[in-house]
């Protein structure tokens, strides 16, 4: 992933301010955060407490992950903030049931970004948050999954930090963990995978710019976000770079929801199986020996139609 979410350059940090030295985990003193370990709202600069945030109407932004689609997977913190926010800016993968949880009277603004259809360019979303916060609004920026996993959360926060807007980040269940759990595919397993890699399979000019030798290593699981269009390229490149063509792989559409569908096969068979099944985004691709476990562990079948076909590459539909 490009390092577009690096912290802004660090200014000297006062002794005792909690900065780590010598590593890459530097404190970023320009960041203004709402969080204190006691749970009290606070404003900090350079790791030092400046003042308690006014109890009244000081504007701020909450960057909140809404989870992978199933509203029940929303965090308690996210739910509480939905009851508090004046404005909710939401993306297209946020479940409508979650948007509907916003308090009565809250303004809801759709700023969703779908492939090749952006309602608002990213820069304008960033500026909108700054403007609303400066008007004294409590802005809840609601994003699918986790805001820091392929969600441009870092870019949005950088803008807020540069503008001196107080913010809080609320993690969400990312698609990889949520979808894998609901598909019955443990991402790591002592017998099959000791590592797990998340990558984006977004095609650029018809190609995927990925570190193929690193992805084709054995004993690991590769999870691909936004990879459906590039599935044939992905499977082919993994085999070219050394993974056996018989490596199990799956595509899961709308995981965690009643519309969940999963197609399981191998690197050799999966592109055709997925095409025949007519899968559509959002989908997550999981590659690795752990995919075999779905035959035993698939538990989520909202309509009772899950089939487990042993080791046969098969279309397994849960939902
Ligand atoms: C722009 S990324 C955002 C990821 C998000 N920030 C997260 O942490 O899950 C959107 C991609 O996440 C994956 N995704 C999100 N929700 C999903 C779901 N319920 N089922 C399958 N894939 C999903 C798809 O690959 C989709 O194209």
Query: Residue 216: its pLDDT value, please?
Result: 98
Listed in sequence order, the residues at least 6 apart from 85 whose beta carbon sits closer than 8 Å to its beta carbon are 62, 102, 103, 106, 138, 139, 140
Token pair for residue 9?
Answer: 């350059």
256 CB near ligand 1 (under 6 Å): yes
Is CATH 3.40.50.2000 what the domain over 176-316 is classified as, yes or no? Answer: no
Strand partners, 221: 196
Question: pTM for the whole thing?
Answer: 0.82
State the distance from the centre of ligand 1 to the C-alpha of 70, rounded, in angstroms.
Answer: 12
Query: Residue 225: its pLDDT value, please?
Result: 98
Domain ranges of the chain: 43-48+55-173, 176-316
pLDDT one-digit tens code per residue, 231-250:
999 999 999 999 999 999 99
76 closest CA partner among 113, 107, 31, 39:
39
Least confident window among 110-124, 224-238, 256-270: 110-124
186 CB near ligand 1 (under 6 Å): no
Fold of 43-48+55-173: Cobalt-precorrin-4 Transmethylase; domain 1 (3.40.1010)
200 closest CA partner among 183, 216, 222:
222
Residues forming the active site: 91, 113
Given the CA of residue 256, which atom of ligand 1 is nearest to it? 19
| Helix and strand element counts for the chain (H, E) | 9, 15
Under 8 Å between Cβ of 254 and 261: yes
State mean pLDDT over 90-105: 96
**176, 180, 182, 184 alpha-carbon torsion, rounded to 10°:** -170
């Amino acid at each position: 992933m490009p390092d577009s979410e690096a912290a802004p350059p660090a200014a000297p940090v006062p002794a005792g301010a909690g900065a780590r030295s010598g590593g890459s985990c530097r404190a970023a003193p320009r960041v203004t955060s709402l969080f204190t370990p006691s749970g009290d709202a606070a404003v900090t600069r350079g790791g030092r407490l400046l003042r308690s945030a006014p109890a009244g109407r000081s504007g701020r932004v909450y960057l909140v992950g809404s989870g992978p689609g199933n509203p029940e997977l929303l965090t308690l913190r996210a739910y509480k903030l939905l009851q508090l926010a004046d404005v909710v800016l939401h993306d297209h993968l946020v479940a409508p049931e979650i948007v509907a949880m916003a308090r009565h009277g809250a303004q809801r603004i759709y700023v969703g970004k779908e492939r090749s259809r952006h309602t608002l360019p990213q820069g304008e979303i960033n500026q909108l948050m700054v403007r609303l916060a400066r008007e004294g609004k409590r802005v809840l920026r609601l994003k699918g999954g986790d805001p820091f996993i392929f969600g441009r959360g870092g870019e949005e926060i950088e803008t807020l930090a540069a503008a001196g807007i107080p913010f809080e980040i609320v993690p969400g269940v990312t698609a990889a963990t949520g979808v894998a759990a609901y598909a019955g595919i443990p991402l790591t397993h002592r017998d099959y995978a000791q590592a797990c890699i998340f990558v984006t399979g977004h095609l650029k000019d018809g190609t995927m710019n990925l570190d193929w030798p690193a992805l084709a290593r054995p004993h690991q699981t590769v999870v691909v976000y936004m990879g459906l269009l590039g599935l044939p390229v992905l499977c082919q490149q993994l085999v070219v770079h050394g993974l056996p063509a018989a490596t199990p792989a799956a595509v899961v559409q709308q995981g965690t929801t009643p519309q969940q569908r999963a197609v399981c096969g191998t690197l050799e068979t999966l592109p055709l199986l997925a095409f025949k099944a007519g899968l559509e985004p959002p989908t997550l691709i999981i590659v690795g020996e752990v995919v075999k476990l779905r035959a035993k562990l698939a538990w989520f079948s909202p309509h009772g139609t899950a089939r487990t076909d042993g080791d046969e590459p098969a279309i397994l539909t849960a939902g």
